[in-house]
Structure 1
Amino acid sequence: MIRILFLAGLACLGGCASLMPLSCSPGQQTMLVAELLFGRNIGDRLGVSEAAFGRFVDEEVTPRFPDGLTILAGQGQYRDTTRGVLVREQAKLLVIALKDEPEGRAKLAAIAEAYKQRFNQQSVGTILKPACISF
């Protein structure tokens, strides 16, 4: 699942200049909602602790998106094609609302790359979708 979502995210990050415009209600603005899916296993065991993930958010995510974000805990799964087995793992879902601009997309890609490097991960799933947002 993570690999499929990663490929879908790459297509959006690299190939979309902007998404289809929405017709938002008064008081709302058109923005992107980004969902980043972080697997927490390293190998066959839980390797990214709550504390380590918290430090990652503090050091890599918050400086890039200081206006706010949401983090959810989850359970993910994907088929490991090299071994032909289903892998289940704890996961984190990061949700960020941002303007649809190249700078924001680059920040998302940098976060995904930093996570892969820091925690020896193959991929980080990235989903982008347009939304009407008000705060």
Structure 2
Amino acid sequence: MSNVARHRLFRAGVAGALAAAVLAGCAAGPFGHCATGFEAFERDTLYFGRAIPTGGQVSDADWADFLDTRVTPAFPQGFTVLDAAGQWRGASGQVVREPSKLVVLLHPRDAKADAAIATLIDTYRQRFAQEAVLQERQSVCARF
């Protein structure tokens, strides 16, 4: 095995070990703790595409209603919404470009938050005929 191949294998092993630690619930990285004054949280970023497959897009009024009636009651402590331009390849193989909204949630890791996020994703997918809503999760340290 060449040195280049060994180096790639080592990097893949380190990346895999770090990913496994995070997936196992290791708060805030490979050392499992937060610095003094910080608390361990989960940060979920949800990517909501606004293009409706049958035509049109999720209106500003419909988006505001979704935030007011679904997201706010599920996460009353707060969240952040960002505008984005997304691109992805759907199940049909076609590339979809669409305006998107990102919702960033910072919360303790628990079953209640996990269930609330799953419900938000399912509700949005059904209500606006979406093929998918991307969820990205990271363990982080935060202070307020």
Instruction: Give the TM bin, normalised by the shorter chain.
Output: 0.7 to 0.9
> Does residue 19 of the first structure (1) align with residue 17 of the second (2)?
no
Q: Compared with structure 1, are the counterparts of its residues 81 and 117 closer, same or farther at alpha carbon in structure 2 (3 Å cutoff)?
A: closer
Superposed structure 1 runs of 4+ greater than 4 Å apart:
none
Query: Could you tell me which residue of structure 1 aligns to residue 94 of structure 2?
Result: 85
Q: Per residue, is there more strand in 1 or in 2?
A: 1
Q: Per residue, is there more helix in 1 or in 2?
A: 2
> Does residue 53 of the first structure (1) align with residue 59 of the second (2)?
no
Q: State the shift of 1:25 in Å.
A: 1.5
Q: State the shift of 1:79 in Å.
A: 1.3
Aligned counterpart in structure 1 of residue 74 of structure 2, from 34, 52, 64: 64
1:46-70 residue CA offsets vs partner (Å, 9 max, x unmatched): 4101111011000000001000000
The 1-side partners of 2:102 and 2:112 are apart by: 21
Query: Could you tell me which residue of structure 2 aligns to residue 130 of structure 1?
Result: 139
1:63-83 residue CA offsets vs partner (Å, 9 max, x unmatched): 01000000000000111341x
The 1-side partners of 2:54 and 2:126 are apart by: 18
The 2-side partners of 1:67 and 1:93 are apart by: 17
Unaligned runs of 5+ in 2: 1-22
Kindly indicate whether the alpha-carbon contact (under 8 Å) linking 1:46 and 1:90 is maintained by their aligned counterparts in 2.
no
Kindly indicate whether the alpha-carbon contact (under 8 Å) linking 1:21 and 1:30 is maintained by their aligned counterparts in 2.
yes
- What is the total number of aligned residue pairs between the two structures? 118
State, as a whole percentage, how many aligned pairs show the same letter. 34
The 2-side partners of 1:116 and 1:86 are apart by: 18
TM-score (normalizing by structure 2): 0.77
Kindly indicate whether the alpha-carbon contact (under 8 Å) linking 2:27 and 2:41 is maintained by their aligned counterparts in 1.
no
The 2-side partners of 1:56 and 1:75 are apart by: 19
Kindly indicate whether the alpha-carbon contact (under 8 Å) linking 1:46 and 1:89 is maintained by their aligned counterparts in 2.
no
